[in-house]
Structure 1
Amino acid sequence: MPLTRFLVSRLLLATLLVAAGASAVEPASGPVATEEPIEFTAGSGETVAAFRGEFIVPSNWNRPGQATLRLAYVRFPASGAAKGPPIVYLAGGPGGSGIDTARGPRFALFMAMREFGDVIAFDQRGTGASSRQPTCTSTYRIDDATAYSDLEYADLHRAAARQCLQQWQRDGLDLRDWTTAQSVHDLDALRRHLGADKLSLWGISYGSHLALAAITAMEDRLERVVLASVEGLDQTVKRPAETDAYFTRLQAAIDTRPELASRFPDVVGLMRRVLARLEAEPLLLRVTPTGGAAYDFLLERRDLQQLASGMIADPSSALQLLELFAALDAGETAPIAWVLGKYHRAGEAIDFNPMPLGMDLASGISRRSLDRFEREAKAAILGGYLNFPMPQLDLLVPGLDLGDRFRRDPRSCLPVLVLIGTLDGRTYPDGQREAVRGLSNAEITVVVNAGHNLFMTSPEVTGRIQSFMRGEQSALDRIVVDGWSGP
């Protein structure tokens, strides 16, 4: 599918240890009997002694005793004197790997968190090393040189998804196994497997969505929660009006930097102008991919909206997006053709992986939120494409949607730290505050100029998390960073 494959798809998945006493384990401060000692190597080349573990859960907690899944994690032993409950990292996506995240730029933060307890890089069901399922490649394709209406485009994806559902059913895979509610049960099973009375949770983006669901379901088994770039339980689909408001905030931030303000004096005007031109007359490009044959690509308004949806998470990539818009506004097509040649492959089939598809469809959207979405999308800069293929595929699978009871904002007095980036183009400040309004003991720190991936934007962010984990009272509700150079 054009553009979405590399930018919008959620980049850039025996013995049943579910009952207390089902397995003899030692406390999390010492090796769990089934764990394997390893030398963990980060992408930076740094190494640390750790343990690799696995435990088995039902593929569906409503049908115990049938099929099972093997879930994996890496445990970094606590380094501090005061060892609290295990701290479980919940990756975003849905579809991100906690273990892979620990290898990346956040490795230093994983190590810093060891001051407070064992740190668990957890691969949620269907991700990384945890029973990852193969992607279904349908027979449906988006012809690169053909124009499609929004309705035709959505219908093709719906037909492809139905075909994949039929294939998964033949293979014995039930999409009802891949829901946030199932993953919450997995977290409680992980707690028991580690021999812990409680867990602390640390999640970002979809990981915060899972953490909020866990607060609702297992509050008495949680100690502390750190949330960043929060996605509420009824926020799988973001409001188009909030995306428009993001561009206003982006403009205000650009205006504080003269070198950027002179290049982009009117972000909204630029984007609307270019999108309107493509709506009136799509642009036929000749694309030459690296090591492949040249092909024609009809650049439509929808393609650019999807491209933008994948690039506005952080201010550094948003600036790259604006450069593409400015080039198109000036009649220069080489930059966008280069992007297509580098990342898009002609004639790719529409495909789906059961984990992210099931998680998003199950979390769904309330009817009230859907009505608001449809009203706002009509005039929004990015239309209804920020979270495509949601809500376009909403209610595709009967019985999968978890319902409005699941989507209620959690109510809790647990200590929670919330980190909000002002230039987050995926989860928005107002929506994040709304998502945690029922958490009476929540501390909110705004990270000015940070985007969606805010953890490593400043040592102050790490320091704020550390002070929260120590239980210290902090008045630090605002951190200013330079988000333009990347997270």
Structure 2
Amino acid sequence: MLSRVLLALACLFSLAAAARPASAGELPEPAGIEWSACPVRVPSGARCGFLIVPERRDAPDRTIKVGFARHMSTSMQRKPDPVVYTSGGPGSASLQLLGLLRQAFPDRDVIALEQRGSRWSEPSLGCPETAQLLLDELRARPSGAGSCLARLREEGVDPRGYTTAEIAADVPALRAALGYPQWNLFGVSYSTRSMLQAAALDPEGTRAVVLDSFLPEQVAWYDDAERNLLDTLTRLGLREQFDQAVRQADAHPIELPALDPVRGTSFTTRLTGDDLKAFLAEALHEAPVLAVAPVLVGALADGRTEVLRPLMDQIAPALVSHDWGLYHAVQCQDEVPFNAFPAEPRLFTVKVDRALCREWALPKGKPAKATTQAPVLVVGGELDPTTPPRTARPAAAALPNARFAEFPGVGHAVFLSGACGRRVIGAFVADPAAAAQPVGCAAPYERVGPEEVHLTAAPYRLLGTPWLGFPLALFALFSVLQLVAGGGRGWALTAFAGLSGLAFLGLSFQVLYAQFKTNEVVLGLGVPSVVARELTVLLAVSAGLSLLALTRRRGWPHLASATVATGFLLWWVLWML
């Protein structure tokens, strides 16, 4: 090890110029790059900036800024070819993942590249008007296919410049501007399309390509959307229960409270069966939710619709975090026109996209039919409800030098679902010629059955309103006092009442904390059954001993202890459980 370190130090100055582009201050700034403050938290030593490019390369008079962040590796084994990553969407942000990229590829520079028109690019094609339209759909009061297109055009934006082809062309432009001879491309979901096109545009500059949750160009995503969801539910063995839940929601729409993050007001959603499908299609992207899907879907089939509240609280704010102008500029040119829509769409998100694209009336894009001779690793989740192995595997087989790896228990975005997926991807980038299979990769979360969870909304309410847990704190205080006073004065019943109460609290906390560390999504649905059954017996014992102690010794301490213990038992059974 020491000899390698000394050798690296000896070669450092002679190899630095060839191995890596100069950092700021060593040489003049790269042409086409404008450095700026980072808009989000990034690892120490990272720099953010903009790539200056034409808005439309066929009409290059107007330029725009595409955001990116770069972290330069400090490893002594640093490799000369970086990893450049772009998130999916279209319109999902990338900069916030720079830290995770640095951990996955410690011996390489890592670059998180935004899509043109995204939140951290200029202009940003955010559309609160579209977010409001989607929120109105959840109110069951659709406001029509209103859009922000007119406003964007007044601001000088030409939506024809925001296509997959233009997004792809920004990738080799950034490589050239930063001075890297070669690099590795990494896309996830939608950006697998743009990264494959970038590899085709830049064969000499592309060393290897990672396509996570591959969305092939030849797949009609909207036509496939409902089937993909139902296929995942079938593989989980939940199709029949889900169909029952959908029928119930169609007959009696589900009403849930929600927050309108655009207006800052509360409203009540009315979810039909189609809305339920749209919700589940998004929720089942996440591996932790997939693990509890038997509990979630089973509860919905039984009419326990309160389990949707945590999902609703996540989805409404997510609607305003998306750059809908960019999303629809891309979808209306490169996706919607290539779908047949043989029947009226069931998912409300698909309905809105089709309606908006009819209004926007943008020109139909031209298929790229992109391919590459570079080594390609396509990774996919076994249970992906959006870009399933059913479509990703044959698309990978059609590439000249690609292999496909499927990960058990994973939904969408393998890279974000667990460390094992990141290790496989890292191993491929280290040696693209080697086989990359998820050997030894178990599902990142163990499957949870309905019998393992006692359904209750109380834990989720406590997370948002901690003062509701005041009875818990009061019971803990009196249990300590019972144990101390009873032990000190020889009051055995009182001491054992306090001990039973503390045992209940301690064991319950241990089980709940372990569940939180294992899969916190469970606590959004209820509590582990062992807490609701076996450990509640300890609580009943504590209350019973407190009452028995009161019959032996009258007085306010025993009366107060018995009152608190009995009251807490009632609160626990009637409210918490």
Global fold match (TM > 0.5): yes
> CA shift at 1:130, angstroms?
1.5
Tell me the residue number matched to 1:166. 150
Tell me the residue number matched to 1:269. 240
Q: Does 1:228 align with 2:212?
A: yes
Q: Could you report, residue by residue, the CA deviation over 1:417-468 in whole angstroms, capped at 9, with x for unpaired residues?
A: 1112112222100211233333111122221222213225444433322332
Q: Separation in 1 of the partners of 2:121 and 2:305?
A: 43
Pairing of 1:27-426 with structure 2 (within 5 A): 28-31=20-23, 33-34=28-29, 47-64=43-60, 66-78=61-73, 79=75, 81=77, 83-103=79-99, 107=100, 109-115=101-107, 117-131=108-122, 132-137=124-129, 156-157=143-144, 159-161=145-147, 164-235=148-219, 237-238=221-222, 239=224, 240-251=226-237, 267-283=238-254, 285=255, 287=257, 295-319=267-291, 323-336=295-308, 340=312, 344=316, 353-365=324-336, 367=338, 370-371=339-340, 374=342, 383-384=346-347, 389-394=352-357, 396-403=359-366, 405-406=367-368, 408=369, 410-426=370-386
> CA shift at 1:136, angstroms?
4.3
* Structure 2 letter corresponding to 1:463: R
Indicate how the Cα distance of structure 1 residues 141 and 431 shifts in structure 2: closer, same or farther if over 3 A, else same: closer
* Structure 1 letter corresponding to 2:215: E
Q: Separation in 2 of the partners of 1:42 and 1:70?
A: 17
* Structure 1 letter corresponding to 2:406: V
> CA shift at 1:140, angstroms?
5.8
Q: Separation in 1 of the partners of 2:138 and 2:421?
A: 46
Unaligned stretches of 5+ residues in structure 1:
1-24, 252-266
Q: Could you report, residue by residue, the CA deviation over 1:367-409 in whole angstroms, capped at 9, with x for unpaired residues?
A: 5xx33x536x87xxxx445756444545554443213x33x3x
Q: Separation in 2 of the partners of 1:469 and 1:339?
A: 35
Q: Separation in 1 of the partners of 2:421 and 2:133?
A: 45
SS at match of 1:176: helix
Q: Separation in 2 of the partners of 1:352 and 1:74?
A: 19
Contact persistence 1:312–1:424 (CA under 8 A)? yes
SS at match of 1:137: helix
TM-score by length of 2: 0.63
Q: Give the number of the structure whose residues are more often helix, by fraction.
A: 2
Contact persistence 2:43–2:71 (CA under 8 A)? no
Contact persistence 1:102–1:121 (CA under 8 A)? yes
Unaligned stretches of 5+ residues in structure 2:
1-16, 446-517, 522-577
Query: What percentage of residue pairs aligned between the two structures are identical?
Result: 22
Contact persistence 1:28–1:86 (CA under 8 A)? no
SS at match of 1:374: coil
Q: Separation in 2 of the partners of 1:220 and 1:145?
A: 48
Indicate how the Cα distance of structure 1 residues 272 and 58 shifts in structure 2: closer, same or farther if over 3 A, else same: same
TM-score by length of 1: 0.73
SS at match of 1:305: helix
Q: Separation in 1 of the partners of 2:398 and 2:211?
A: 14
> CA shift at 1:322, angstroms?
5.3
Q: Separation in 2 of the partners of 1:179 and 1:81?
A: 38
> CA shift at 1:293, angstroms?
7.3
Q: Could you report, residue by residue, the CA deviation over 1:220-276 in whole angstroms, capped at 9, with x for unpaired residues?
A: 43221111111112346251333322222223xxxxxxxxxxxxxxx1111111111
Q: Separation in 2 of the partners of 1:328 and 1:215?
A: 45
Q: Separation in 2 of the partners of 1:269 and 1:314?
A: 21
Indicate how the Cα distance of structure 1 residues 341 and 312 shifts in structure 2: closer, same or farther if over 3 A, else same: closer
Q: Could you report, residue by residue, the CA deviation over 1:173-198 in whole angstroms, capped at 9, with x for unpaired residues?
A: 22112111111221122122112333
> 313-322 or 225-234: which moved more?
313-322
* Structure 1 letter corresponding to 2:221: V
Match for 2:398 among 424, 435, 438?
438
* Structure 2 letter corresponding to 1:310: E
Indicate how the Cα distance of structure 1 residues 176 and 211 shifts in structure 2: closer, same or farther if over 3 A, else same: same
Larger Rg: 2
Q: Separation in 1 of the partners of 2:211 and 2:379?
A: 6
Q: Separation in 2 of the partners of 1:316 and 1:427?
A: 18
Q: State the superposition RMSD in angstroms.
A: 3.8
Q: Could you report, residue by residue, the CA deviation over 1:62-98 in whole angstroms, capped at 9, with x for unpaired residues?
A: 111x221122222222435463333211112221222
